[in-house]
Structure 1
Amino acid sequence: MQADFLFGEQFKYQSLQLALEGAKKLNNDWLLSAGLEWSESKLPDGFVKSNYNLYGDLEWLENVTVFDLPQQRTVLDKTRFIRSAYLQTQTELTDTLNLTMGLRFDGYNDIASKLNPRLALVYQPAEHHVLKGIYGEAYRVPSLGDLYDEESGLTQGNTSLRPSTIKSYELIYNYTGSDFFISTTLFHNDIADLIGFDSGDTVALANIAKSNASGIELEWRWNVTDSVRLRGHSTHLFENESEIKAQASLVPSEQLSPDNYMMTLLDWQIASQWQAQLQWSYRDNIAITDDHNTLSLLNASMVFLPAAGHRWQLKVSNLLDKTYQVPVIQQIGSSNGIAINELPSRGLAVSIKYSWHF
């Protein structure tokens, strides 16, 4: 007898978190904030289920069955404890200059602990103008699945994983007027020990890459009239470089990301019950795609609010029905020995949505 093959995972996640936070104003110029946090998390239930015997001869079982014997766990029954503490101080150095300094410590029972600093200087020379300088560090620890995945059918965990880390630098200028706002940000990010798939003898998770990127971002809003607003943002990359382990199948970020990207939105309050939006986005070429073309897309939507709680929305995506390819980070196949790292996009799409809130 033939039957559809059904396969899935049955996970149960439990967590408990306790936190204590407080703040104290030491004098008119100093504010001290501190906090403590303790948490526990675990996966008491981590198994697969199927209507075929996955641990036998793949015979049909009629019903979907959970394979929950101890030796059939897909993620080991491990418990994670996290002890965290932070301390932050804010002070007015002068009438126009503010300083914020902070430290955060996170201690784990199953992964390396880390102390992360943060520093921010805010300078306001005039009413509408603000300058900011920010430095910060952060990290992402591997999840319980990343570390202790045994045989989920997707990949294999790695108890030797190191946390992914990032160091970020930002220089920001903001102008805020009555009807206009603009923000310009110069940034640089250093990322190390990125976690991904290692395509060695077994498909396992590993620290496979590091990267650095720098560029400039622009964000703006303009209230043209009481009913019309323009807003948008753009990014230009000066540098985008990555270093990836030879056996990893990850595509370098510089091949996936355009050097220039921008989006502009026009919001129009036609009447009290009618709203419209037109969205335009642009990017220059992406190295991994076959056409290497720039791309300009238009989307539109219309919202009708006939009564309180009722909402109709008409949405049109890819208004001009452009044909283009979407890059993907992992190789999805090959053709004539050439790796395929792109998918065809959707063409023009129209949707109507009704929602009722009560």
Structure 2
Amino acid sequence: MKQHIKCGSQMLMLSLLVAANLVQAQTLSENIEEDELLDLYGDTEMIAIATGNLQTTAKAPAVATVISARDIQISGATDLDELLETVPGLHVSRSALGYNPIYTFRGIQSAYNPQVLVLINGIPISNLFQGDRSLIWGGMPVNAIKRIEVIRGPGSALYGADAFAGVINIVTLSGHDISENEFGVRLGSFDTQDAWAKIGFDWQDFSVGLVLEIHNTDGQDEVIDLDRQSLLDAITGTQVSNAPGSVSLSRENIDARLDITNGHWQLRSGMQLRRDWGNGVGGAESLDPSNRWKSNRYNADLTYRNDELADFWDLQAQMSYLQTSIETDNDLRLFPAGSDLSLLGLGGVYPDGLIGNPESFERHYRGNLTAIYSRLEQHQLRFGLGYTFSDLYKVKESKNFGPDPITGSMLPPGSPVVDVSDSPYVYMNEGDRTNIYAYVQDVWYLADDWELTTGLRFDDYSDFGNSTNPRLALVWSTSQKLTTKALYGQAFRTPSFAETQAINNPVVLGNPDLAPETLASYELAFDYRATTDLKLALNLFYYDWQDIIKFTQDENGSTKTAKNMGHQTGKGIELDMDWAISERWKVNANYAWQESIDESTNNKIALVPESQLYLALDWAITHNISLHNQVNWIMSRAREPYDNRDQIADYAVLDITLHYESTSGGWGADIIMRNVTDSDAREPSVWSIPQASIPNDLPLEGRNMYAQLYVKF
């Protein structure tokens, strides 16, 4: 089998200054239970995804951030993306389709964002189709979240493919975490109506936790002045564009989480239903106000863990299942009714518009076995074996263009919509992928103040051969207050099915000859705890990203084909401060700067922020009332080569949350105000030949406001 990823170069280690007061945590016994560690150090100090074991962020062999349930409550955040925007070096941009989030770590970005691995309770939720969370994502509410763990940098040595630019692990609530039942409602801008319930109880020897969340909204209504059809109108003389018009971001979401725990066993399941899903600025960047999508996502996992089965061994076995779908609920009009598409080689005027309804259905089965061996005096060894079977088991499509599935002749403009499922003319073939992997990790306590983590993971794929990825992390307790880390890691990303198998598509086409993307990363980090109230961090990084997969404009001007098109390097610095000034005042601030270069052109990487600044001020006005103020400032985003538009404007968004909690703790209320100054914030649209389809970029929501009330019982 072809070896796609080469084991790395030797790491050059340096040391400087900035952070650590929790150094004594290295002596903690591995037998301490997770809840005890969280009680001792707090949710924001503990992380599990760096090595698979819960440990303090100061000692973790990674650059990590943890967002706790308390952080979520104080911030007034209602969706995962609002929380991730507070992480240093992580920017949440938006794609044109459905305003799906693009998690940009350190200048690494692509349209569908498969370079970021998102886990729920340590289990991937990646799809085969685009390699992302789901094309019909629709957001993720926060009431079921216990904490969020974020690692900036590669994690393939532990998590395999797609743990590339960063890893986000969402830990959900168990029955043990819900000490009081809770019911809440939220009303606000854009006709938003939300409700949630949290229920926790013990039944015989079982602990049960249930969270239900409902979200309905018309979505923000900022206006798109011009779209792709506007350009066609100007050339062909038609006047059929829906621009100026509002972005389409309606949502009807239902999320449910169930957790049942008994002794060594834990069963978790989830449901995410998406209905009335508006597609943003359209499937082909032409406004389509009538189209709607839906998605059904179900997951379940069963975990058995026993640290008493054998001396010096901690064993864990896990099985999981994920089922996802992407379905159209109303016709997707790539171009509106009356559009003349002669210039795109599609024959002329389409009275009903150019209609294409692609749908896909997936199942993912995973099983893994993990063993931790701790008998060796200065070593903790972790071994893992796993198997994943991912199946794109159904592909459906109906459309009014392309070959007729019965005659094979081209459908003329004005033809009715026909079903091309199970024909050679469908947009993508069904298929599956198998992954078998093994890894080993050694945490070596070199001396009282030195800890070396090494790891190696081998993956074998049924369609792409094999890959071996190492990691190396040296953690030095430089002083009682300062910890220094030197980190090296490699990562890889396998191409998605859309990148390899998309066919008969008027917008993008796949390429079966693609190679996986690869990345090598070097980091130097300092964690300094000046006092118990003041924490500082400084991170320096450099990475080398090769065989980048991009959809590149074809000569016909209407389609883009996936290709291994590039080589990108990046370097940067991240600064983070957490300061409890007094019992009433707390400041959290971070700043990130990065410079990423396209090595083939020597140009700066477009669309990503070179600088970003986050500042939050919490004021405990009284024992019951608190005020959270935060500013997020996004700066210095370059245009793509040959894009002759004005530079992308910087923006700063101010959010304010007023929180009240009754003295008894039985109820509480929040007033949440976002973009208080009504800043004209925009995320960049991509360049297309001969001009950008959305010339004035993607407008973010203006000033908006919400009120929520919850009761506990």
Structure 1 equivalent of residue 684 of structure 2? 327
Q: Cα–Cα, structure 1 residues 41 and 271, in superposed 2: closer, same or farther, change >3 Å?
A: same
SS at match of 2:424: helix
Q: Deviations over 1:116-156 (max 9, x none)?
A: 00000000032221000000001111122322222344411
Distance 2:432 2:699 in 1: 42
Q: Cα–Cα, structure 1 residues 166 and 353, in superposed 2: closer, same or farther, change >3 Å?
A: farther
Distance 2:435 2:711 in 1: 39
Structure 2 equivalent of residue 16 of structure 1? 365
Q: Is the 8 A contact 2:391 2:431 kept in 1?
A: yes
Letter in 2 for 1:59: S
Q: Deviations over 1:155-178 (max 9, x none)?
A: 111111111111110111101231
Q: Cα–Cα, structure 1 residues 357 and 191, in superposed 2: closer, same or farther, change >3 Å?
A: farther
Pick one of 211, 231, 241 that aligns with 2:597: 241
Mean Cα displacement is larger for which, 129-138 or 267-276?
Answer: 267-276
Q: Cα–Cα, structure 1 residues 109 and 347, in superposed 2: closer, same or farther, change >3 Å?
A: closer
Pick one of 314, 321, 327 that aligns with 2:672: 314
Mean Cα displacement is larger for which, 17-26 or 266-275?
Answer: 266-275
SS at match of 1:126: coil
Q: Cα–Cα, structure 1 residues 257 and 79, in superposed 2: closer, same or farther, change >3 Å?
A: closer
TM-score normalised per structure 1: 0.84
What percent of counterpart residues are identical?
22
Distance 1:28 1:185 in 2: 31
Pick one of 228, 231, 244 that aligns with 2:588: 231
Structure 1 equivalent of residue 543 of structure 2? 189
Q: Does 1:46 pair with 2:368?
A: no
Q: Cα–Cα, structure 1 residues 355 and 40, in superposed 2: closer, same or farther, change >3 Å?
A: farther
SS at match of 1:147: helix
Q: Deviations over 1:287-338 (max 9, x none)?
A: 4362576544433233445775765442221x3334465323x215756xx9
1:200-279, aligned counterparts within 5 Å?
200-201=554-555, 202-237=559-594, 239-243=595-599, 253-271=604-622, 273-279=624-630
CA drift of 1:351 comes to 2.2
Structure 1 equivalent of residue 461 of structure 2? 108
Q: Cα–Cα, structure 1 residues 110 and 326, in superposed 2: closer, same or farther, change >3 Å?
A: same
Q: Deviations over 1:187-207 (max 9, x none)?
A: 101111111112123521111
Q: Is the 8 A contact 1:47 1:72 kept in 2?
A: no
1:1-358, aligned counterparts within 5 Å?
7-49=356-398, 52=400, 55=404, 56-57=411-412, 58-60=414-416, 66-176=419-529, 177-201=531-555, 202-237=559-594, 239-243=595-599, 253-271=604-622, 273-288=624-639, 290=646, 295-304=651-660, 308=666, 311-317=669-675, 319-323=676-680, 325-328=682-685, 330-331=686-687, 343=697, 345-346=699-700, 348-354=702-708
Mean Cα displacement is larger for which, 227-236 or 290-299?
Answer: 290-299
Distance 2:652 2:401 in 1: 50
SS at match of 2:636: coil
Structure 1 equivalent of residue 123 of structure 2? none
Distance 1:4 1:322 in 2: 35
Mean Cα displacement is larger for which, 290-299 or 207-216?
Answer: 290-299
Q: Deviations over 1:68-88 (max 9, x none)?
A: 233243221222111111011
Distance 2:458 2:540 in 1: 28
Q: Which has the higher contact order (CA 8 A, sep 6+)?
A: 2
CA drift of 1:254 comes to 3.3
Distance 2:511 2:647 in 1: 38
CA drift of 1:216 comes to 1.1
Question: Matched residue pairs, number?
Answer: 344
Taking only aligned residues, the RMSD between alpha carbons, in angstroms, comes to 3.1
Distance 2:398 2:710 in 1: 37
Mean Cα displacement is larger for which, 220-229 or 285-294?
Answer: 285-294
| Structure with higher strand content | 1
CA drift of 1:33 comes to 0.6
Mean Cα displacement is larger for which, 2-11 or 16-25?
Answer: 2-11
Letter in 2 for 1:121: L
Distance 1:168 1:305 in 2: 45
Structure 2 residue runs without a partner (length 5+): 1-336, 338-350, 405-410, 640-644
Structure 1 residue runs without a partner (length 5+): 246-250
CA drift of 1:269 comes to 3.4
Q: Deviations over 1:210-236 (max 9, x none)?
A: 211111111110012223211011112
Q: Cα–Cα, structure 1 residues 298 and 356, in superposed 2: closer, same or farther, change >3 Å?
A: closer
SS at match of 1:70: coil
CA drift of 1:283 comes to 4.5
